[in-house]
Every structure is written in C-alpha cells, then in structure tokens.
Amino acid sequence: MILFKMKSVTALFMFLVFLLTAPVSAEAAVRPGNFIHSHEIQIILEGAIHNFTLPRFVYEGLIQSQRLDLAVFNSNAEIVPFTVREAAPVYQVIELPEVLVPFYELPPDSRDGRPENFTGIGPVDIYVQTGAGGQVISVTGGGRREGLRERRYLLDFSSIAENSAAVSHELRLVLPDVRISARVSAFESLNLRDWRPLLTDAPLIQLQGEDSRLVSDRVELPRAPQRYVLLRIMDVDPSFELNGAGYSVTVQSRYFMEENADIGGTAVPNSGNPVFEYDLLGAFPILSVNFLLQEPGFHWVSFFSRPTVNAEWQARGRMSLSKITSQVTLNESESVTLNEPTTVNLREDRFWRVEFEGAFSGAPPVMRISWRPAEVYFLAQGGGPYALLFGSSQREANITLQLLALQNDSFMRITDTPASFAEVGPPIDPAENPSLAPGDGFIAEAPIEENEWQRYLVWGLLAMGGLMLSVMAFKLLKKN
C-alpha cells in the first residue's frame, strides 16, 4: 500500500513538473526580442545561399561573442539556416619581376651536321665548363651550323632561386625583328648528363605586316626548370639569332583581411601606480593588442581583461611600451613607437585595463586592437526582408545554447553553387517591420519576470516531494 502511494506521489510530481516547465521552454525559443539590434540584410537572390562579412558596428553591439550573440531571421521572425565561420583567406596573384637567364648557343655535332640526323638531345662533342656553384662558364666544341633550320641553346638556371610559392613559370625569348613561325622543345637536367623532357613543340610566333603585329614570344613552362635547360627552336630561318632569354614566375600569396581600431583610455583614480581602463563597447574577436604611448618614454606594464563590468580582472600579459623621438630634418623631428603588438588568442572581452609598473605622468596610452572579421552564411528562405539581429539580451538562460545549436552549415552542402554576396544594411524600422523589432537590451542581473514564478514553484514542489518520499520510505522501513 505504501509503495503504491509512493509511486502515485512520484507520478503526480513528475506530471506537475512537466506542466509547469513546458510553458517556460516554449517561451524560451529564440526570437527577435532576445536581441538589442536589428539590421536589414540586403540580398541578391531569394532562396540562395548568401554570405557577408561582419562589419565593425556589429562587433560593437555584441555582448558575449560573435558566435553567441547573433542570428539571421526572415520576415516571419523565423531563424533561417545560418552559420558563423572564421574568415576565409584572400589569395592574391602577383607576377614577380623578370630575371635574365644566361644562355649559350650550342653548335651541331661536328661529326655529322646534316639536319636530318640532328635529332638527339645535344651534340656529343660539346664541352661545358662550370664553376663551383654549377654556373656555366664556357661552352666549346661542335661544328658549323650553315643551312640548319634549327637552333639549340643551353640556358643556365643555376643562379636563379626557385620560388616555392610560384603557380606559373614563363620563359620569354627575345627574338629578332623578323617574321617567325617556329616550334620550341626543351629538356632539363641537373648534371648535364641525364636529361628529361620539359616542353614539347610549343608554338613560337611573330607575324609582321603593315597594319598588324602579332608577337607570341612567351613560353609557358609546366614547372620550375632544373639547373640546366636545353632549348630547341625548330623551323627557323638559317640566319636566326636568339637575342636574349628572361624567366618570370607568378606567385600566389595567402593572407587574411584584418581590421584595427584605436581605443582611448581613462585614468583610474587612487589606484597607486598609474592605471588606465578601456571599454571596447562590444565583443571583438581580438587577435592582438598594443598600447601606444602619447609621449616619448619607456615603461613596463601589465594588462588585464574581463567580459563584463562586474567580473574579476584576469591577467593577460606583460609588455614594454617604448617611444622615441627621431630627427627627420634639421628643423623637424617625429616620434616613433617601438613596441610590437602582443597576441592574445581571440580574446573577446569587452573591458581592458593596463597597469604601469612605475611612475608615469603622461596621457593614457591608446589601445590598438586587431581582429579578423568572421563571415556569416545563411539560406534566404521564408521570404524577405531578412535581418541580422545581434546583441543577445539573454533573458532566458538557454538562449546561448540554442544559438549555438542553431548554427549548422549542413545547408551549404545542398548545392555546389558559390554563395551570393550580401551586405548588412541600415537598422530595421520597427514601424515597417514590427516582427523583426529587437528587444529592450541586456539585463545583467534580470529580476523575476513572467513565468519566472513557475521555476521557483517547480523547485519548491520538488523539495516538498523529496521530503514526503523520505518520510514514506522511513515509515516503510520501520514497519518492516
């Protein structure tokens, strides 16, 4: 009988907990009212995947983090599939200046100069003298070339450094000022004995006329050439002379776009050694910080940060600040900052503090922050206008977890088409789009709100239920 009562009481309490917590969970869904700011997103195509880079004013409106304080909504106030990604690298292609390549004409083999037998890689009785670094010093031997419609040249790449970042290699041949329609083949070697093909029958064209001139004197190489290159130019006039050779590479540099901002500080009175504090106004994903002196000097400082105004300061590092005066001209000088930025590993704290380790009477140092803006990808579904809402008010305890769970980039694998460009536009007008109107801001220590009484009632009932179950269990054990 007692066991039946215990099970009945337990079931009753579980049912009450379900009824009382269900409305709370429903009310805790992420909605525009959970955010402080609302800006329209200007898109190109409905139904397409778009992306945009977070501008500085978004970071100034964040409270916790770029991953926790924003979401993308459609006109029905529904969150669309979105994800926040680290910024993608930017690739820039640069053609480096051309370098001259030393070259030497190779005469035909003296034992057999007939064109029809001139098919080997190189003359067998040509002697090449090289220096200690492998560079060619002289080429001797061979026979005469009269009547031949082919030229062979030894190109010396031994003093040209290979660039590992090169994505294309180009050989430019300086041709005589005549009409040319020839073919080029090339072989490469490290030791002047073992050769392998580098290029086969590439066109070399130079057409001349009264009204037009077509020159194709550049030959694209498939890779960086080895130390020596044997060049064969076929189908040329017997009087052909190569006037020069140049080599150029195109490199692809990879870098990330970063932004910087200078923040002014305020002195903290009655703090012993000079102390200055800085408010970044938001949660920037900081990569590095620097503190710039306003007057020449040298000082050691420690710096600290915290996410909120009520949190404890946490030490982040120690650095030296230095600035010197440099004489530019006889009557003019300038000050130069010598200290380098300090990496802080994506610290997103809003408040910062710098403490001098000795006397200091100058103006507050300027805090310079550097960050890498993230990119937001989203699927434009459900109808526009679309809006970016940011600065979570966090009235509900699980909003942060929901925002993390909502960010999923699986929608980007639906199609192989690249994302369309989007841009964060002006603030949403609540009168025109009331469904996308933001809330009234962040409350650090929120009072008991509507539905908050349910949470306290649930905990009270759970405590009472636990006490009643304990009493029943005690009576059952006493009777047995």
Query: pLDDT-derived band of residue 203, with 50, 70 and 90 as boundaries?
Result: confident
Bridge partners, 375 (sequence order): 53, 85
Query: What's the mean pLDDT when you consider all of the chain?
Result: 79
Is the pLDDT reported for residue 361 higher than 90?
no
Q: Average of pLDDT values for 446-459?
A: 50
Q: Quick one: pLDDT at residue 18? A: 45
SS3 call for 12: helix
Is the pLDDT reported for residue 444 higher than 90?
no
What digits encode the pLDDT tens for the residues 72-85? 999 999 999 999 98
More confident residue, 106 or 394: 106
More confident residue, 64 or 386: 386
Q: Quick one: pLDDT at residue 119? A: 42
More confident residue, 40 or 46: 40
Query: pLDDT-derived band of residue 25, with 50, 70 and 90 as boundaries?
Result: very low
Q: Quick one: pLDDT at residue 163? A: 82
Q: What proportion of the chain, given as a percentage, has pLDDT over 70?
A: 74
What digits encode the pLDDT tens for the residues 158-194? 888 888 778 889 999 888 888 888 889 999 999 888 8
Q: Quick one: pLDDT at residue 277? A: 95
Contact 31, 245 (CB under 8 A): no
Is the pLDDT reported for residue 114 higher than 60?
no
Is the pLDDT reported for residue 12 higher than 80?
no
Q: Quick one: pLDDT at residue 302? A: 94
Is the pLDDT reported for residue 294 higher than 50?
yes
